[in-house]
């Protein structure tokens, strides 16, 4: 469905098949959390293909901070701007598909053998590459948006506030208010508008079905529990963990404390958001069907709200007050991206070899323009072999 009346009847900017391919690739290589995924999106969609104006992409990242996973929300925003409502759904589902499929596979192995697959060493080797990827994105974004003294001040303030663990929503609201004091800029041409919408586990192998299919009423209850959790999904996956623990372990007893911790570990072995812990819990309760229902229910509130914001953005973002507000958001997003690299590096980079790997990866990404997937594969191999502690 189009977001503005003049968009009716226009063709989508890109085909849904190509859109799905791009976001499957991003979802399959998005190790390292939300900002790492944002870095991949910025490289794939903005620098490599020029599908969206850079400032517009940053607006989507900012809007995605409100409710739900902001990486999923950014995918929804990009898909919406490129191909309308169908594009948003295709982008969001395609982005999550690799992680959900991997969690289902690892959950099947876990509940059969009661152990987390030994992949941690390989995943640990990805950290220097992920840090370099985020730094490269911050470098690219900063070159575009840090063009005035006020922008640099907002950037520095957002960087410090984010490192101090301030709520991202408050950071962005303050930055948007500061945007009203920026020097006036000439209006650019509006971006292309999206198009109008066109009008049993019993058969699964034993490995994928540990426990019997849930009845319809039980599956509805599963969906309702995760939907309610999705309504309070603010602040990212790690903020969501205490809420999930309170419901799944303490309140309902659906997972034991040990299973919950192992589920967190499994979710971190995947390239997607840590919120795919819902997939793990849903699989335990209802197999593949339960995994899909729990995942969809958890992400549904944030996705619905993001689509509402996309519609409002399409209608309002060219208005003078909106342009001023969003001008302040841009440097704040750059600061938040850079803070993610600092936070991740401070917690996981403790040797000269890992620091050297970050520097080499950064140069290969920015100067040689090597594809991130090649560097991620090299990092996983280095971690598996013990070359990167």
Give pLDDT tens digits for 24-53: 998 888 776 667 788 888 888 888 888 888
Give pLDDT tens digits for 249-291: 888 888 888 788 777 767 766 777 777 889 999 999 888 999 9
Helices (H), the chain: 16-29, 34-41, 54-63, 70-113, 120-124, 127-145, 149-163, 168-178, 216-230, 237-245, 257-268, 277-316, 320-348, 352-366, 372-385
pLDDT of the residue at 80 = 93
In whole numbers, what is the pLDDT of the chain averaged over residues?
78
Report, as an integer, the average pLDDT of 217-243. 77
With 60 as the cut, is the pLDDT of residue 235 above it?
no
160: nearest Cα among 35, 38, 332: 332
Domain-by-domain residue ranges, the chain? 5-186+302-385
Give pLDDT tens digits for 300-355: 998 999 999 999 888 887 778 777 887 888 888 788 878 877 876 776 676 788 88
CA 184 to chain centre: 32
With 80 as the cut, is the pLDDT of residue 86 above it?
yes
Are the C-beta atoms of 168 and 162 separated by less than 8 Å?
yes
pLDDT of the residue at 38 = 84
């Amino acid at each position: 469905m189009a977001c503005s009346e003049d968009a009716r009847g226009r063709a989508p900017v890109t085909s849904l098949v190509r859109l799905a391919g791009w976001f499957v690739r991003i979802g399959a290589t998005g190790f390292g959390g939300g900002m790492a995924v944002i870095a991949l999106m910025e490289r794939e969609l903005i620098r490599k293909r020029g599908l969206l104006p850079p400032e517009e992409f940053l607006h989507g990242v900012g809007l995605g901070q409100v409710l739900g996973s902001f990486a999923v929300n950014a995918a929804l925003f990009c898909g919406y701007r490129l191909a309308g409502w169908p594009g948003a759904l295709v982008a969001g589902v395609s982005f999550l598909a690799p992680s959900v499929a991997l969690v289902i596979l690892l959950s099947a192995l876990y509940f059969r053998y009661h152990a987390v697959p030994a992949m941690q060493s390989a995943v640990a080797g990805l950290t220097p590459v992920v840090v370099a990827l985020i730094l490269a994105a911050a470098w690219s974004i900063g070159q575009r948006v840090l063009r005035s003294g006020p922008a640099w001040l907002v950037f520095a303030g957002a960087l410090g506030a984010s490192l101090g663990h301030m709520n991202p929503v408050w950071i962005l609201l303050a930055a948007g208010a500061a945007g009203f004091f920026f020097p006036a800029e000439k209006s650019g041409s509006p971006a292309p508008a999206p198009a109008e919408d066109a009008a049993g586990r019993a058969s699964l192998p034993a490995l994928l079905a540990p426990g019997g299919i849930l009845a319809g009423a039980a599956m509805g209850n599963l969906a309702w529990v995760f939907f309610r959790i999705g309504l309070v999904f603010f602040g990212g996956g790690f903020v969501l963990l205490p809420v999930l623990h309170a419901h799944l372990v303490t309140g309902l007893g659906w997972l034991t404390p040990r299973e919950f911790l192992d589920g967190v570990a499994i979710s971190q072995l995947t390239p997607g958001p840590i919120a795919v812990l819902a997939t793990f819990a849903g699989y335990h309760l209802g197999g593949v069907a339960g995994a899909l229902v729990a995942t969809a229910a958890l992400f549904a509130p944030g996705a619905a709200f993001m689509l509402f914001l996309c519609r409002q953005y399409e209608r309002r973002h060219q208005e003078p007050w909106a342009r001023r507000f969003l001008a302040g958001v841009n440097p704040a997003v750059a600061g938040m991206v850079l803070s993610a690299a600092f936070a991740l590096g401070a917690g996981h980079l403790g040797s000269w070899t890992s620091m050297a790997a970050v520097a080499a990866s950064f140069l290969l990404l920015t100067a040689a323009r090597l594809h991130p997937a090649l560097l991620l594969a090299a990092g996983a191999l280095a971690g598996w072999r013990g070359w990167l502690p």
